[in-house]
Structure formats: C-alpha cells, structure tokens
Structure 1
Amino acid sequence: MKPDPNEQFAALRQRYAAQLAERVAAILSAWQHLEQSRWEKSVGLEVRQLAHKLAGSAAMFGFADLGSVAREIDLGLQAWLEHDHLPDIVTRQRLAHQITLLQRMVPQDQSHTAEAPPAEPSQLSATTSSVSTAAPAEAAPTTTAVMPEQELSIPRETNKLPRTIILVEDDREYAHTLAEQLRLFNYDIHLVTDLEGLPTLVRAINPAAIIMDIVFPSGDLSGIEAIAALQRERTAPVPVIYISQRDDFNARLAAVRSGGHAYFAKPVDAGQLINALDRLTGNEEPIPLRVLIVDDDPDFGNRCVRELEVAGIHARAITDPRETLDHLQVFRPDLLILDMYMPICSGKELASIIRQQDRYVGMPIVFLSAETNRTQQQAALSLGADDFLAKPITPTDLVAAISARAVRARYLQRFLLRDSLTGLLNHQAVEEELAREFARAERLQQPLSIAIIDIDHFKRVNDSYGHLIGDQVLRSFARLLQQRLRQSDLIGRHGGEEFLVALPNTSLTEARTLIDSLRSSFAALRHYGPNGMFNVTFSAGIAGYPHHRSQVGVMQAADAALYQAKRAGRNRVIVDAHRDDAPPFVLATAKDTATTKTETVWRALIISSNGIQRRLLRQSLSERGFMYDMINDVEHALKYKSPTPPNLILVDMTQIEGTHTAKLVQLREYFTNARIVTIAPATAEPRAATTVTFGADDYLLVPLAAGTLQALLNRLAASERSN
C-alpha cells in the first residue's frame, strides 16, 4: 500500500518537534558562551548560524511564530557582526529577551505535536517522499547516498512497450507495406481496410493514435468524415494522422477542421511518420529532472526533497558542502540549491568553487536562504547564481521556481551535447560517456560491448537523392536505434554516417544478435526520394571488455572489425575475435556469484570507526568464510600483531584523507605483503579513485552492489598471479 502523505508529513513534523528543545538549547548554550566571551565575533557567528538554520526550517514544519523569533535573533546578530563595535545595551537586552522567548515557545507536550494544524497550511501541503519516516527518537539522515542508475544489472530486454496504432487504408498492398515499416519501430499495428469496422475496433482496443487515409470508394473526403463522426462519440479524442494522395488546400483544411494532428502526402516516408507518432503517443519516456540540495539543516533539506519529489522531480539533499562535487559527478543534477550560511563552507564560497569548473558553468545555482539583506543577496548572485529564494517558501513557489530553471537548463545542455540532426549524443559527448561506462565495467567486472556502425554507400545516397533525403535516412536510423535499445544503452553519432553504440552488461554474443537484428530491420526500411523508393544497409564491427583491457583497445578492435565487414561485402556484422594478452576475468552469473572463490585465501583487517561500514564488510566477509579483524584507526593498526598477518587491508577513506601519502606509506611499510583497499561511500567515488594514485591497490564503494566485493577480490588475485 502506498504510504499516506499526511502520515508521512506528521511523522516528519513530530520528529522535528522532538528535536526543537535540543536546537533551542544549543542556541541558549552558544548565547551564554557569547556573553561569557565578552561578545567574541567567532562565538557570535556560531549563535547566528544556529538561529539562521532554525529560522529557515521552523515555518515549513508548522512553527512559524518560533521561526519568526529565530529570524529576529539572526538579523540582530547580523547587524552586529557587520560592524566593529559592541552592540548597545538595548540591542543586547532585546536579543536576550528573544532568546528567553524562544525557550518558552518550545512545545512541552510533544506527543501531540504531529497532530497540530500547521500555522501556514500553504507551506505544508501533503506530499510523498522517499525520506525515512522512522520513529522520532531516530535521527533524520544527514546525507542521501547516491547510487548511479547504471550500477544496476539491467536485463537485455528493452522495457519499451509497443504502442497500439490503427491504420485505415483500403489499398491492401500499400497498407501492409506501411505496417511493416512501422512495426520495425516497435509499434503494434492493426489494419482496417474499410470504414465500417473502425468504430467497433476503436472501442475494443482504445488505440494510441489512428493513421487515416482520406480517399475511399464512398467519397474523396470519406476518411475525414468518418473521423469527425468517431470523435463526436468520444469524451477524449483519439490523435489522428492523415495520409493521402491528395495534397491540395481543401483536403488539408478539412483535415485540420476535423482535429487532425498531422498530414502526409503519399508516398509517406516512414521516418517522418514515426517522428509524428512519437510526438503524439509519447513513445519516449521522459527522464525526471534532478535537483541537488546543499543545506546544513537536514530537516529542511528533507522537506524540500519531499516537495520536489511529489512534483515528479528527483531530489537529493546533503548537509556537508565538501561532498558537493562528488554528488555533482555521480548524481548529475540539472539544478543546484544552496543555503547561504553553512559552518564548513558558505554557500557563496561553494558557488565560487563550482563556477571555477567549466563543466558546471551552465548549471543553474539557486540560493534558498533566510537571508533578507538585499546587499547580501546581490553579492551571492554576483558569484554566478541564477536566483535567490527566501525561506520560508511555499511548496508551490519552490516547485515553480525550480522546475522552470531546471527545464531550461536541460534544454540548453541537450543543445550542447546532442547532434542537431539526429538528436543523439554528439562525438565529444559520446566519447565522454563511453569513458564512464568503461570505468564502470572495469570496476564491476561486467562485460561491455561496443559497436561501431557505418551506413553503407552513404555518399551514393546523397549523390543520387540529395542531402535532404540523406539527412532523413540518418534521422530514421537514429530513431530506430532509440526505439530498439535500452535507455541505459549509449547511442551517439560519431561523425558523418558513423554511429557508436555501447551496451553495458552485454556479452559479445548478445551484442551480435542485437546489432544484426537492427541491421535486418534497417535493411527492410523503405525510403522515398525524387526517383522512387530505395533501401539502405549498414555494416558494423563489435568488440568489448574484458576481451580488450583498455577503451582505446576496444575502439581499435571494433573499428578493425567494421573494416572487415566492409571488405567482406558490407551489410553484415563482424565481431572482433582477438584478445589482449592479459587474461579476462571469469564472468559469473547471478546464480553462482555468491559461491565463486578465488585461489587466494584472504585474511582481512578492517580499519574503520564507521559502524555501518564495519557491519556491511563483516557480513560480506563472513558469507565467504574469510578471516578478518577490526580496528578503529590507522594509529592502532600500525601496532597490530597477529600470528597470521593480514594480506588484505580495508581502510576507511576518511582515516587517510588529507594525508594520503603519509598514512598509505606507513600502512604499506608495516603490512609489507598486504593489498590495501580504501573504502568510500558511492557518492565519493572520485575522491576514492585518487587514493590509488597515492599508493592504494584499489577502492571499494559502499553500500556494496551485488558481486562488487567478489569482483574486487578477483582483480587483486589476478594481479597477484601476474606478479
């Protein structure tokens, strides 16, 4: 059963209420410290940050009055911090009174706070969320682990279901020919050769669209008249595309007046018709917008996540600004929301760091803060931010402001990364994505197959039919690839008439079957030029990892296989039969992964004070019957003694960050015969990868995906054997 949004929010509100006393107590403690320190500015800044955080989140959870008092404290301290002199006695008395008032406003009976009506209903609309709704005693998560969608083991079958289309055409031969073309693009076609049976069929199957001829024996506009009568009987009209030998103004006007969405004169180019069908039937699943929120208040961040998720936007909230770059690379958001004031790094500083990197120059940055000083807001915007939104903010305003900018950013990003003719990734973008896929295949030790496809004799097509027709051939082929491949597969136009397809977790045998099926379908596709109908074919070369151990090696092998296909007569698929000297890993199925053993007997030492990490690793090692021991930190590890020294060191990355060289050298010198592997959250993969350059043998991401640990051990064992 889907969770009740009201119950979810009530749980969040109750948890927030349970933490209010602790939050206010922290403000009081800092305030007392401020008075004892004779108004030292560093202490005053701490009080202001605590009040600022409370002011920004309280109203969203129904404590608007309390939030207003916190805002007064925030603004009062801000005015003092911006000047060199001490505040006068009146200001100090007013602040002290507001601190006392804040204490009194904390709910005493928290058992009923979740049921209390919100002070501002418009700011607390019911939403759904992926945020944990655990009991109030549990702390809210401060970060959200980002696992790349591509890490999942995706089955080879596409998840795109065929859309049902009714084709009404009394020319049986032409109808069957056109239906065959449309089925190549994953459409389910129902043929009707007379108008009488149309209403019954429409009621029976409720089609996604109707393709209707206009001229029938009963009249030159009979098709349009039949559609007009059909639509009058329906509450929701069916999208209609007209096809006809007639190309005159009167026929087109009648088609428009009947509600027709498109009109094609015969002979109809299947590629153009497919484009129109895709637009009408929505046969392209939209990818939800992604938003990353950086705010040191976990409750406020989680609340924003809830509001955005209910609007169909994928959102993630983190509290540590230092994790932002890792999340940007892994989660790849369309838009970034920043708080202005955070203890580790301010929002303005974080925006400057991000804008210094070319890859993020075009990504919108929106400040969402309780800051009301226009000068401070303008200073933040001058650093490259796109907007400044003030807390508290209603869910409607939040979604409206964020979605509009995110949509525009995605459109601009698509313009930069996509080939303007085919809509596929352009050369540079597909090369960058391929590097990511190759690195992922290496890390997970999963196969990756790459196909380089080239349209046969494409220059002849341009010379014989013109460049406009040639462009249409390329668009039709691109559409065929998009319809038949998975969303996780990588498709790009590599240049001219050459295309590149990368198939994650797909063996060479599976890749050959798939690409050859596409070859057969494309060869059957009919194109229309000034001189009549013609067909086009393609040739392809396939190579993959682990048969070749580098991306360059795979690309060279695929290109060589393509050259072989061309020399052998074209219109064929050749799979590279060569391998690098390095032995590939043994691919294990999901069934036997858990029982796969390496020849090496591993004795592990886990260096981590992270309870979750220790528990996950202990469970994984125990399942495989490995010996292991645990130590909290590197200092104690360097004093570790055992009659059977460990040959595998699993060290938490936070234990060595900032001192990569020194700590790793110490571990390497102390455990001379051990392999050293750093442990890091999935969101910190770029930082984890750098530890390898400082002396680590490998790295391991948690939470552990299926087969990840075994893949790591296979890699380490293979490198030991090669040494």
Structure 2
Amino acid sequence: MTVISSNDSKENRVRTLEMGAMDFMAKPIDEELLVAYVSNRLAYKRELEQAIVIDELTQIYNRKFMESQIKLFIKHHQQNKEHFSIAIIDLDYFKKVNDTYGHLVGDEVLKGFASLVKELKGAEAIACRFGGEEFVILMPRTTKKEAFIFIEKLRTSMEKKIFTANGTSFHVTFSSGIAEATSTNLHPKKMLEEADQALYTAKQLGRNQTIIFDNIAAVEKRKVKIKIVVIDDVYIIRDLITNHFKHLEENEDYMIETLAYPDGISFLEANWYDPECKYIILLDWILPKMDGIEVLSKIREQHASSNVIVSMLTSRVGEEYVMKAFINGADDYIVKPFNVVEVSERIIRLIHQMFL
C-alpha cells in the first residue's frame, strides 16, 4: 500500500510507514513519475509472487503451489465432474548419481529433468518439485489413461537423455505412480497417497516404469529378469561363472540367465540388450582388439546403471586402476584370481541393492 498525502512532513511520513504502508508519495504528483512508480511496483509484485511459488533450482513450481492447485482442481471436479489426474515421479537411484558424480552434477540432472517436463507437457499440466528427486505433475481435464500415455512418453524420453560428467556419459530413469480423481479420493492427501502407492509398486516391480493406482491389485508380482553377462577371453573363467549361476536355486523375486562373450567386439555387435531385463556385466579389463574400458564407455553411452551394472573383472590392482574404472562408469571392481562363490554372493547383493 502506498499513501498519497499533501502533508509531506517527516512526522507524517514516519507515522504512515509505522502503520504498515510500503511507501509515501507527496502531492502534487507528477503523472510521468506516477506511471513509472506503478509499473515498478507491479514488476516487483510479479517477481515476489514468482519467488514464492517457484522452486529455485529447477524453475518449476514448488510444493506449496502444488498443494494449492490440487485443492483447486478437486473443487473443479466436484463442481463440473472434470477429469483430473496426478503423477508422482521419483528419479531412480538418484543418490548414486550424487555419490558417483557429486551434488553439482545431481543438480544438473534435476534441472535437466525439469526442462524435459516443460518441453513435453501440455499447456494445462503443472509440473512441481515435490522435494529432493521427487516431482508431481498435475493434469487437469486428463483421465488416468491419458495421463499414463503422457508419463510414458516422458519416461522414454528421459531414459534416452544423455548427461555428462568428468568426460563420461550416463543416463537416468524414473519410476512413476498415477492417480485419478474419483468420488472416493477427493482430498489432496488421499490422491497423493494413491499416487505414492502406485509409485511404490513401480519400484517393487523393478523401477523405470509407470503404474496406475487402480491397476495395483491386477498387477502380478513379476519376477525381475536378470541377465549375467561374462566378457572374458579366458574360456575357463566364462565357463566357471556361467555354470555356477545355472545351478543356483530358483528365487521367488528374480530369475537369472547367463550369457558369455570372448571379447568386447562380439558382445557389442550382438543384439544383447532387452529392455525387459536387468543386467550385471562382468567385464575383463584386458581383451583382444578393444580393451574393457573402451567397452565400458560404449555401454555407458547407451545404458544407465539403473538397468545395466558393470563390474570390472581384472588382475590389475592399484588405486589408479580402480579410479579409472569408476570414472568411466563401472559400478564394481573384482580382482582376479577370485573365488566364484564369493563373486556370486557379491552379485546377489548387487541384485538386491539395485534391482529389487
């Protein structure tokens, strides 16, 4: 509020400001000055409002704005029976991005995802940062099926997006849960709980997928398909590992298949990748024609650790080799000679940590 008065005394100005006015203008008022003053204050008001509702890092809406909009869309649904859906999105294994590449790179991933959402979403959809690596997308006049189509388009685009750090490339995926407004969930907390339950189911089923809340009961507990790939020019090592896993007891959460290649070129030229599977690759460092680090770099150009774990299998010891492996995208480092049982136990731990 600005007070305009012909009494331009110091006492009157002080009293005006003490009573809560933002500014004081003395009469008579110059018209040009008044126009400039109003324009300045309107611009300041817009900037202030933006700062209140916009997440500083990602430049999309924040949680406070999201909560106000959910209430508004629920009200519209109650009045006009307009469809309204929400999606909660969680970036898969984001902690590993921070741990591997640092928090500054993690921030770039968050900004990159937010930018992708803004690029792909419709004019009415509202993207919000829910907190950390979680996001909420509000979709007015959108059914759960329409929401699913959009979120899947976003998911596949994110899966292909390339991020870089320390001269290496990597990918990040996300899991998502969707809920649509119905007669039984017309409350912000209830809708968010339903979307969150669907998100939890997506994570339980292996991540990098979208689940609609209504479909949770119909979704069977699917076993995660895991392929263990051994790339080593020594036949005995390939045979030792593949035979060991062939004879493991069946597990209720996952099933394992083994593949083996004598060199990196034959592996890369093979049609080895199946998006329905998760992979653990045991990669020898010293290979003919193309060494293991080159193969690792080729893998990371296309596949993130959320789907493909790479463990260097090598006789090279020393901190410089370990660091080089991790910088180029390795997830684990196993030194030869090794005990196949110990390697097996290590792989099972990785499966539980990364895929279940």
Q: TM bucket by the smaller chain?
A: 0.5 to 0.7
Compute the displacement of 1:578 (Å): 6.8
**Which residue does the alignment assign to 2:17?**
381
In structure 1, give the amino acid aligned to 2:189: V
Q: 1:576 to 1:403 in 2, by over 3 A?
A: same
Which whole-Å CA distance do the structure 1 matches of 2:27 and 2:180 have between them? 51
Matched, 1:422 2:58: yes
Which whole-Å CA distance do the structure 1 matches of 2:59 and 2:107 have between them? 12
Which whole-Å CA distance do the structure 1 matches of 2:212 and 2:133 have between them? 20
Matched, 1:564 2:198: no
Which whole-Å CA distance do the structure 1 matches of 2:162 and 2:215 have between them? 36
Matched, 1:541 2:158: no
Which whole-Å CA distance do the structure 1 matches of 2:82 and 2:109 have between them? 34
Q: TM-score when scaled to structure 1?
A: 0.28
Q: 1:383 to 1:452 in 2, by over 3 A?
A: same
Corresponding residue to 1:575 among 212, 219, 235:
212
Which whole-Å CA distance do the structure 2 matches of 1:383 and 1:485 have between them? 46
**Which residue does the alignment assign to 1:493?**
129
Which whole-Å CA distance do the structure 2 matches of 1:377 and 1:441 have between them? 49
Which whole-Å CA distance do the structure 2 matches of 1:572 and 1:553 have between them? 22
Corresponding residue to 1:554 among 181, 191, 215:
191
Which whole-Å CA distance do the structure 2 matches of 1:485 and 1:396 have between them? 42
SS in 2 for 1:577: helix
**Which residue does the alignment assign to 1:469?**
105
**Larger radius of gyration between Structure 1 and Structure 2:** 1
Which whole-Å CA distance do the structure 1 matches of 2:142 and 2:52 have between them? 29
Bigger relative CO (Cα 8 Å, ≥ 6 apart): 2
CA contact (8 A) 1:465 1:531 kept: no
Compute the displacement of 1:487 (Å): 4.6
Q: TM-score when scaled to structure 2?
A: 0.54
CA contact (8 A) 1:541 1:563 kept: yes
Corresponding residue to 2:91 among 455, 470, 487:
455
| CA deviations over 1:368-397 (Å, ceiling 9, x no partner) | x4x312355553333222223457756533
CA contact (8 A) 1:441 1:504 kept: no
Matched, 1:411 2:50: no
Matched, 1:482 2:115: no
Compute the displacement of 1:427 (Å): 2.6
**Which residue does the alignment assign to 1:518?**
154
CA contact (8 A) 2:7 2:26 kept: no
Matched, 1:432 2:74: no
Which whole-Å CA distance do the structure 2 matches of 1:401 and 1:486 have between them? 36
| CA deviations over 1:485-520 (Å, ceiling 9, x no partner) | 245432211111100111111111211111111111
CA contact (8 A) 1:450 1:558 kept: yes
In structure 2, give the amino acid aligned to 1:430: M
Compute the displacement of 1:420 (Å): 2.2
Q: 1:395 to 1:576 in 2, by over 3 A?
A: farther
SS in 2 for 1:388: strand
CA contact (8 A) 1:452 1:501 kept: yes
Q: 1:534 to 1:403 in 2, by over 3 A?
A: same
Q: 1:398 to 1:487 in 2, by over 3 A?
A: farther
Which whole-Å CA distance do the structure 2 matches of 1:442 and 1:396 have between them? 48
Which whole-Å CA distance do the structure 2 matches of 1:531 and 1:463 have between them? 17
CA contact (8 A) 1:522 1:536 kept: yes
In structure 2, give the amino acid aligned to 1:508: K
| CA deviations over 1:67-125 (Å, ceiling 9, x no partner) | xxxxxxxxxxxxxxxxxxxxxxxxxxxxxxxxxxxxxxxxxxxxxxxxxxxxxxxxxxx
Which whole-Å CA distance do the structure 1 matches of 2:26 and 2:146 have between them? 53
**Which residue does the alignment assign to 1:401?**
37
Task: Give matches, 1:361-372, under 5 Å.
Answer: 365-367=1-3, 369=4, 371-372=5-6
In structure 2, give the amino acid aligned to 1:563: Y
CA RMSD of aligned residues (A): 2.4
Matched, 1:507 2:143: yes
- Structure (1 or 2) with the greater strand fraction: 2
Q: 1:504 to 1:398 in 2, by over 3 A?
A: farther
In structure 1, give the amino acid aligned to 2:93: H
Q: 1:521 to 1:402 in 2, by over 3 A?
A: same
SS in 2 for 1:543: strand
Compute the displacement of 1:531 (Å): 5.2
Compute the displacement of 1:443 (Å): 2.7
Q: 1:566 to 1:384 in 2, by over 3 A?
A: same
Compute the displacement of 1:558 (Å): 0.4
CA contact (8 A) 1:434 1:490 kept: no
CA contact (8 A) 2:6 2:28 kept: no
Which whole-Å CA distance do the structure 1 matches of 2:129 and 2:37 have between them? 34
Identity of aligned residues (%): 37
Q: 1:530 to 1:508 in 2, by over 3 A?
A: same
Compute the displacement of 1:554 (Å): 1.1
**Which residue does the alignment assign to 1:134?**
none
SS in 1 for 2:59: coil
Compute the displacement of 1:411 (Å): 2.6
